[in-house]
Amino acid sequence: MIDYLSSINATVKIRIRAHRNVFVDHLGFVKGEAGWQIVSKIWHLESVVDGVADPNAA
């Protein structure tokens, strides 16, 4: 989800799965001369998926 706060500010919410962990990231972007850049990140471990084989498990 992208939320444009203005022509030079935006926030992005993404959900990422890394192995059994599901994270939600909130990223803050600012548009400058070089384009869009991430200026902040907040993350949260939303859940751990049970019953799924972890290929990295010993």
| Sequence ranges of the domains in the chain | 2-48
At residue 24, the pLDDT reads: 97
Q: Cα–Cα distance between 20 and 49 in angstroms, integer?
A: 5
Query: How do residues 32-48 score in pLDDT, each as one tens digit?
Result: 999 999 999 999 999 99
Mean pLDDT of 7-14: 98
The pLDDT of residue 1 is above 70: yes
* Residue keyed to tokens 């290929």: 55
Contact 30/49 with Cβ under 8 angstroms? Answer: no
pTM: 0.76
